[in-house]
Amino acid sequence: MKWSNPTVRAAGIVVLVVTALLGSAYVLGRSLIPDQPQRQGTGVNTNADGPYYADQPTDDASSAAPTTSSGPAQAGQDGSGRDAEGEKLFGAHSTTGTPRLALTFDDGPDPRYTPQVLATLREFDVKATFCVVGENAQAHPDLIRAIVADGHTLCNHSWHHDVTLGNRSADTIRADLLRTNEAIRAAVPDAPIVWYRQPGGAWTYPVVSMAQQLGMTALHWSVDPADWEAPGASKIAASVLTQAEPGSVVLLHDAGGDRQGTVDALHRILADLTGRFELEALPTDPT
C-alpha cells in the first residue's frame, strides 16, 4: 500500500484525527472525575441502610494489638496480661470472675434487631450487657431507654466503631469515649456506664488506661461465635453452646450488619444456657 495514493492518504489522516480526538476526550473526562478518598481503617462501612461494622480489627490495628481471627479467645489470663490465645488484653476482663455467664451484644442499638433481642431476653427473664456505639445511641435514644428499662447493663463501644482508636492520641481517645457516654446519657441521664469494649478487641495500653481514668473497666470476651460473619443461626448457636463454660463472656451482635441469624439463634442459646448456668448482666459496680 502506497501513502502516495490520495485515497489512502486521506483515510490515514482521518484515522489520526479520530484517535487524537478520542484521546483528548478521555483526558477531559478523567479530569472531571474527583479523586476517590482513601479508605480509612475504621472497620466501618456505610450504606443507605445504616452503618455496618466489621468487628475484627484492620491490619493497621492488628499490628499493635493482635486479635483472634481463626477462633474464639479462651477464658483466663496469665501473668503476662495475655489470654490463653496470646491476645494482648492489657488488663481487659475476658471472664465474669464468677461461675455466672454473661451475654454481651455489640454495635447497637439497631431498630431492626435490638427490639427482637430484648423481647427474647425478656421471654427467658435474662439480663445482658449491651455495648453500644455512640452514633447509634444518638440516633436511637428510645432503644437505649428500652435497654435500661429492661434492667440490662450498658457498655461504651466507642463513637464510630474505630478499631484503631487505641493507637490514637490520648486526647482523641478521651474525646471519643466521652462523646459516646454523652450520647448515652442524653437518653438515660442517670444510667451507669462502667464498662468499655474496644472495637475488634484491638486493645492497647492507652485505651485501657483512658477508660479507667473515665471510670470504666475494659471488657473483652471468652466466647466468640463469629456471628459478625453471619454464618447462620445454627452455626452461631452451636458455637456458643459448645464453648460456654462457667464465667464465660459471650460476644454477640445486635447491629452492625445483618444480625437476623443472631436473633434467630438466641432462642436456642437461651433455652440451653438457662438450664446449665446462671446468666447475668455485668454489674454496674465492677470494683
Distance CA 124, CA 275 (A): 11
Q: Is 152 a catalytic residue?
A: no
Is the previous residue joined to 34 through a cis bond, with omega within 30 degrees of 0?
no
| Residue of 152, 160, 161, 253 with catalytic role | 253
Measured in whole angstroms, how far is the alpha carbon of residue 262 from the centre of its chain? 14
Distance CA 237, CA 226 (A): 11
Backbone torsions φ then ψ of 12, nearest 5 degrees? -65, -40
Distance CA 267, CA 105 (A): 15
Name the grid cell of 240: 456458643
Instruction: Work out the angle at residue 221's Cα, subtended by the Cα atoms of residues 286 and 129, and round it to the nearest 5 degrees.
Output: 55
DSSP H helical segments within the chain, as ranges?
Answer: 6-31, 59-62, 114-123, 134-139, 141-149, 170-187, 205-213, 233-243, 260-276
Q: Is 160 a catalytic residue?
A: no
| Residue of 55, 83, 93, 106 with catalytic role | 106
- The CA dihedral of 145, 146, 152, 156, to the nearest 10 degrees, is -50
In DSSP terms, which residues pair with 52 in a beta bridge? 45
Query: Do 203 and 163 touch, CB atoms closer than 8 A?
Result: no
Distance CA 181, CA 179 (A): 5
6 contacts: CB under 8 Å, gap ≥ 6: none
Query: Do 107 and 53 touch, CB atoms closer than 8 A?
Result: yes
> Which residues are marked as active site?
106, 253
